[in-house]
Amino acid sequence: MSEEQRRQLDAQLWGIANLLRGKVDPDDYRDYILGFIFYKYLSEKQHLYADGLLQGESVTDFELVKDQETLDAIQEESLISIGYFLKPEELFSSITKRGNTNSYILDDLQSVLNHIEQSTSGTESEDDFNALFEDLDLNSTKLGRTPNARNEIIVNILTYLDEIDFRLDEVESDVIGDAYEYLIAKFASGAGKSAGEFYTPQQVSKILSKIITTGKTKLKSVYDPTCGSGSLLLRVAREVEVGEFYGQELNRTTFNLARMNMILHDVHYRDFDIRQEDTLEEPQHLDKRFEGIVANPPFSLNWKSDANPLYASDERFSQYGRLAPKSKADFAFVQHMVYQLADNGTMACVLPHGVLFRGSSEEVIRKYLINDLNYLDAVIGLPSNIFFGTSIPTCILVLKKCREQDDNIVFIDASGDDHFIKEGNQNVLRNEDVELIVESYRNRESIDKYSSVVTLQEIEENDYNLNIPRYVDTFEEEEDVDLEQVSEEIQLLEKDLSETNETIQLFCKELNISTPF
């Protein structure tokens, strides 16, 4: 698919929102739009797969198959290969056709969505499809006050989507996945504070992904302990081949979105494991170690470190001697990720600047990471106001258990006005800004007023305070002022002012009015 075709698909999908503006609250219609796109994708994927199985048979179009034995065989193969099954009459196009004949389809549509989930019961893909459509409440009054009003809106959405070609038969199977990402970004840009719960800006994701894949062509596994919509995990797969994706997400709606996102990007159900739980309290993958870890944890989250005595003996935290403060879980997430990092792995996470210099228990943890473990590889300062929902400046910490150059840490200050542009109310990193950050990290070079390679001894001399201005001097000296020239200019201004006052006095005299001074 060409870039022009891709842009057209993006515009078509975003155009669905116009059907709901003024009728449904923007915070609510995201789930319906993304859910129905996902349903259409599953339908077309099922149709294509079944047609492939029917090649050489008397009936070669899945929609026309009536023989139960054939349907049973297709179902068996579908559950193994694509992880779910839809009957011909349950396909997106079939339901849409019934809606366009003025039929009431909400009950049928709800049955179809339920059946998609039920078809996986007892199979390998059950966990990946369980309750996947639970946010699509077709009886919600948010869609309309009466059943007929709700039916009309949903038929309009399905009809609009039915006219869009997802091009699943093309080799570029991630086209619809990319368009889905585009929609998620669009929704995030208008979601305000809640956007940070499910989306990391693409350029930040690109930095994290490029950093953890430095020097590699393949990652056995990649993990995000606060995975949101899964976009950050999927971004890593654009840089290198990824064997398996792992993630954990607390918010149920966002957890569903992440699983849909994986499937839409043609990640096989056997190759991803996304789970819903509190990562700090109920970690789901503690028995595994990951070659790559990326994360954008919630900033300065409250956690129950003081309420749960088990944290003090938890292997993730116990060796540091102190727990992260209960009002700021930032380092708790770092400790969790370090625990899960493979010996040959790299982790990169976004955090608020406070982790660089705050004292008390955070200072103890910071010192242990640097002095005792020697895991900290780089500190990267980002511009303020680049994340949806918050304007605070942020940083990226890069940690490795086996560092190639273990006697220094790279500091990069990418927060300057020259290293981003403004788009509306947001600051945005350009491609060249991203590349400069990544190359400066990879080359470990000192660039005047931008980056510095700092010895561990210097870090120790600064009491393990990592505040970036201590190591990267961005001060711009002002030009010398010629006081003689300034004095002459002031004298000339005084002379001009005096002449102007005299002129005003003459005019006032001619007009027979008092002067204003």
3-state secondary structure (DSSP) of residue 386:
coil
Q: Which tokens hold the place of 342? A: 């493979």
Return the pLDDT at 126: 95
* Mean pLDDT, residues 150-161 taken together: 91
Go through 137-168 and write b for each residue having 16 or more CB atoms within 10 A of its CB, e for each that does not. Answer: ebeeebbbeeeeebbbbbbebbebbbebebbb
| pLDDT classification of 124: cutoffs 50, 70, 90 | very high
Interval 45-55: pLDDT, tens: 999 999 999 99
| pLDDT classification of 133: cutoffs 50, 70, 90 | very high
* Mean pLDDT, residues 156-166 taken together: 89
| pLDDT classification of 381: cutoffs 50, 70, 90 | very high
3-state secondary structure 192-231: HHHHHHCCCCHHHHHHHHHHHCCCCCEEEEEEECCCCCCH
Do the bridges between strand 272-276 and strand 241-249 make them parallel or antiparallel, or are there none, so unpaired? parallel
Return the pLDDT at 193: 45
Query: From the CB of residue 342, how many other CB atoms can be counted at a distance below 10 Å?
Result: 19
* Mean pLDDT, residues 276-284 taken together: 95
What is the domain class of 192-470 according to CATH?
alpha beta
Interval 402-428: pLDDT, tens: 999 999 999 999 998 888 898 878 889
CA distance 341 to 315: 13
Return the pLDDT at 22: 67
pLDDT at 85 over 90: yes
Query: Which residues, 6 or more positions from 16, have their beta carbon under 8 angstroms from its beta carbon?
Result: 33, 157, 160, 161
Return the pLDDT at 194: 46
Compute, in degrees rounded to 10, the torsion defined by CA atoms 180, 181, 186, 188: 120
CA distance 339 to 337: 5
Interval 187-203: pLDDT, tens: 776 654 444 556 788 99
Of the candidate ranges 82-86, 121-125, 254-258, 415-419, the one whose mean pLDDT is the lowest: 415-419
| Gyration radius of the chain over CA positions | 29
pLDDT at 469 over 70: yes
Interval 291-309: pLDDT, tens: 999 999 999 999 977 666 6
CB 439 within 8 A of CB 461: no
Query: From the CB of residue 492, how many other CB atoms can be counted at a distance below 10 Å?
Result: 10
CA distance 411 to 470: 10
3-state secondary structure (DSSP) of residue 412:
strand
Segment 117-121 long-range contacts (CB within 8 Å, at least 24 positions apart): 119/75, 119/79, 119/84, 119/85, 119/86, 120/79, 120/83, 120/84
Return the pLDDT at 18: 72
Return the pLDDT at 1: 56
Provide the percentage of residues in the chain whose pLDDT is more than 90.
66
Fill in the DSSP letter of residue 475.
Answer: P
Highest mean pLDDT among 312-321, 370-379, 409-418, 484-493: 370-379
What is the domain class of 3-189 according to CATH?
mainly alpha
As beta bridge partners, residue 350 has 396
Interval 14-26: pLDDT, tens: 777 777 766 666 6
Fill in the DSSP letter of residue 413.
Answer: E
Interval 229-246: pLDDT, tens: 999 999 999 999 999 999
Return the pLDDT at 191: 54
* Mean pLDDT, residues 69-77 taken together: 96
DSSP codes joined into one string, 146-191 = SHHHHHHHHHHHHHHHHTS---TTSS-TTHHHHHHHHHHHHHHHTS
* Mean pLDDT, residues 505-515 taken together: 80
Nearest to 202 by CA among 223, 181, 177, 174: 181
Average pLDDT, the chain: 89
Boundaries of every domain in the chain: 3-189, 192-470, 481-517
As beta bridge partners, residue 248 has 275
